[in-house]
């Protein structure tokens, strides 16, 4: 870390302190999580794992609201619902219907299996991480767009557009901005960038072909979860973002 800090200081970027704080936080958090996960995996109780998933979701929600700078009263509930329902549904779908854990283990499908620490926590975390990045970028672009192009928004409403029709171009721009990096990443996956899940599996001793299959499935579910969570969040947040005349209220602030 001395090298980046040297350049940050040399070019007076103002990033030295935040880099040091972030590094210390990362170490402390990961050590604590490591300790926690050890017990989580050891006891492996489905309701404790689910509770941990909900805590992860709460942290992701607060981080999302904080980074977008959109008022909590508007975004907190929509993001919570969007993240939690999407991550739960996609995790369950992936574990029960795609991986078919119960069939490969020759046991009955149960809550213990669906919410087992070994499968549920990593998948749930992976989904939340991707949804967080996409939602922050898309929600910021969406609301900034409507605010900046208010005349265009008014033009559409004033010529008979429904609120959904009038917000559609802004949502389209937000989706493009958030998903173009994901698509670009997919384009070069395996050639320029070797993805994390695959590397982790290979380093852990898995057959590369199995690792590639997992990677493909992970890419697809994170992509799908990101768009579903965004659509759910926007649909719910729209109800709180506009007044009775369809005008965007003051969304940015605390």
Which residues would be at the binding site for other proteins (CB under 8 A)? 149, 151-152, 154-162, 165, 169, 244-247
| Angle subtended by helix axes 117-148 and 46-68, to nearest 10 | 20
Find the Cα–Cα–Cα–Cα dihedral 135, 141, 142, 148, rounded to 10°: 160
Integer Cα distance of 127 and 174 in angstroms: 20
In this complex, which beta carbon is closest to other proteins, that of residue 117 or of residue 175?
175
Alpha helices in 71-116 (DSSP H): 72-92, 101-105, 111-114
In this complex, which beta carbon is closest to other proteins, that of residue 157 or of residue 225?
157
User: Which residues lie across from 248 on neighbouring strands?
Assistant: 242
CB 157, min distance to other proteins, A? 6
CB 151, min distance to other proteins, A? 5
CB 246, min distance to other proteins, A? 7
Integer Cα distance of 241 and 91 in angstroms: 30
In this complex, which beta carbon is closest to other proteins, that of residue 104 or of residue 151?
151
Nearest CA to 232 out of 113, 71, 61, 31 is that of: 61
CB 248, min distance to other proteins, A? 11
Integer Cα distance of 57 and 184 in angstroms: 27
CB 226, min distance to other proteins, A? 25
In this complex, which beta carbon is closest to other proteins, that of residue 100 or of residue 176?
176
In this complex, which beta carbon is closest to other proteins, that of residue 92 or of residue 248?
248
């Amino acid at each position: 870390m001395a090298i980046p800090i040297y350049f940050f200081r040399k070019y007076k970027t103002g990033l030295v302190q935040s880099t040091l704080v972030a590094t210390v936080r990362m170490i402390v958090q990961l050590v604590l999580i490591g300790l926690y996960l050890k017990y989580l995996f050891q006891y492996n109780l489905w309701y404790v794992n689910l509770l941990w998933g909900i805590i992860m979701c709460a942290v992701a929600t607060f981080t999302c609201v904080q980074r977008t700078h959109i008022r909590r009263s508007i975004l907190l509930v929509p993001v919570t619902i969007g993240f939690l329902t999407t991550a739960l549904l996609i995790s369950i779908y992936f574990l029960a219907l795609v991986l078919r854990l119960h069939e490969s283990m020759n046991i009955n499908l149960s809550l213990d299996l669906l919410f087992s620490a070994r499968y549920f926590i990593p998948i749930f975390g992976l989904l939340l991480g991707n949804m967080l990045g996409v939602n922050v970028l898309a929600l910021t672009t969406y609301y900034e767009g409507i605010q900046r192009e208010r005349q265009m928004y008014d033009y559409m409403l004033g010529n008979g557009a429904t609120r959904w029709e009038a917000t559609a171009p802004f949502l389209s721009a937000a989706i493009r901005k958030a998903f173009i990096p994901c698509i670009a990443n997919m384009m070069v996956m395996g050639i320029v960038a070797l993805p994390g899940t695959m590397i982790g599996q290979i380093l852990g001793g898995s057959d590369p072909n199995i690792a590639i299959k997992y990677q493909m499935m992970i890419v697809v579910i994170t992509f799908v979860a990101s768009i579903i969570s965004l659509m759910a969040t926007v649909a719910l947040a729209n109800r709180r973002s506009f007044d009775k005349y369809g005008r965007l209220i003051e969304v940015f602030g605390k």
